[in-house]
Structure 1
């Protein structure tokens, strides 16, 4: 498998980013269902929740989405700073960032696993940590630049899937990757929701493992590779 990934780095990177998309689905399910209706990967959802919450008497949270937004932006800024001047392909810096994301998620899972019912302070702390991790992941994935797979949102992917279909422009499209991203983030959310029946920390633990495996595979299959890869090929 590693040899095949080395021979076709574009498809390898696509597969790794799709795995992170699945992982994001898990984390968002944990956040929304286990942390008082907060998205830690999908910031569009948080902005919409905040907008509705400002109307008053909606019962929607304000502090959680704000904390998630702040954490996400901090993580994205840190990721962008770390990748300044790096080649637009997988480098050692990307490995470090993805490992950091996996570790942060794993550390967030520890207190969640030890406390049966996390209070508001612990929930906010976990939300901040997961937002930080997802922001860093998004920045690193953006720099790897696999077309149509941002790992944290699929709105633009769904738009491309529909608009470029036979019912739209009909101009042909990489539909497999687009459909794969949509399906995987949904399956990740399903997995995260099911794992909440086990414990709130179970989904985070699985997400951390997936992220660390992705970091390892990316590192061992593309060490020292430079130059932009042809990600827009099927």
Structure 2
């Protein structure tokens, strides 16, 4: 019974942490689209659509930026996939390390933005786009490994589909409605906050996402360490009893 409660607490914590990252994705995508020449660094579906329209010269849409974002996002996902492959699904030290790397990358980009204003086609701006996309690829792959149902942290299309199709009106039971709705609202709120911060300075939104990523990494790592310590403490009395017999 105690193990079930601890497992439920871990699952709830992971859900909360992934929802925090969903909010930060909204922030970073708003900064990318509005401040980095209409490029998404988290939502790759948007980049594919932009690229498709840009290839026929529609509305002077960018080509290089979305291509860099797509390639770098996949690179980040490959790196995270390699790192997490030996681990079972769930939080581990490698999860903490990867999300810490995401936060530090975001922080480094924020520092650059405070000294260099982004411009369309500028090499530094393209490098910033690539760095953010790598970080988001790592985040997305890490979230996928944690396997929190309906919370990918980077897209909400499938979440919206599940919200509607599994609702009572859709003939379903309405399970997971809260988390699905929360993910949609949080990415929306993040985009709003990102757009507001962009009016102050483009580096502020990225700095906020850096802080959120680091907070998530630390919180998840601490919870994992406590769970390991609790498991070790529970195992010790059992071993003592067995030895006494």
**In structure 1, what is the equivalent of residue 199 of structure 2?**
197
- Match 2:153 to one of 132, 151, 154: 151
Does 26-35 or 51-60 show the bigger shift?
Answer: 51-60
Higher alpha-carbon Rg: 2
Deviation (angstroms), 1:116: 3.6
Distance 1:93 1:132, change over 3 A: same
Instruction: Count residues in correspondence.
Output: 223
- Match 2:183 to one of 181, 184, 194: 181
Q: How big is each residue's C-alpha offset from its partner over 1:58-77, in whole Å with a ceiling of 9 and x where there is no partner?
A: 21100000000011000000
Q: How big is each residue's C-alpha offset from its partner over 1:88-122, in whole Å with a ceiling of 9 and x where there is no partner?
A: 11000000000000011111111111124546111
Deviation (angstroms), 1:87: 1.6
Does 14-23 or 104-113 show the bigger shift?
Answer: 104-113
Q: How big is each residue's C-alpha offset from its partner over 1:41-86, in whole Å with a ceiling of 9 and x where there is no partner?
A: 0000000000111122421100000000011000000000000110
Partner Cα distance (2:16, 2:118) in 1: 36
**In structure 1, what is the equivalent of residue 105 of structure 2?**
104
Task: List, as ranges, runs of 4+ consecutive aligned residues in structure 1 with deviation greater than 4 Å.
Answer: 4-7
Q: Any conservation in 2 of the 1:90–1:225 contact (CA below 8 Å)?
A: no
Unpaired runs of at least 5, structure 2 = 229-245
Partner Cα distance (1:78, 1:177) in 2: 28
RMSD: 1.7
**In structure 2, what is the equivalent of residue 49 of structure 1?**
50
* TM-score normalised per structure 1: 0.91
Q: Any conservation in 1 of the 2:36–2:118 contact (CA below 8 Å)?
A: no
**In structure 2, what is the equivalent of residue 23 of structure 1?**
24
**In structure 1, what is the equivalent of residue 241 of structure 2?**
none
Does 174-183 or 52-61 show the bigger shift?
Answer: 52-61
**In structure 1, what is the equivalent of residue 75 of structure 2?**
74
Q: Any conservation in 1 of the 2:37–2:119 contact (CA below 8 Å)?
A: no
Partner Cα distance (1:109, 1:5) in 2: 37
Unpaired runs of at least 5, structure 1 = 227-234
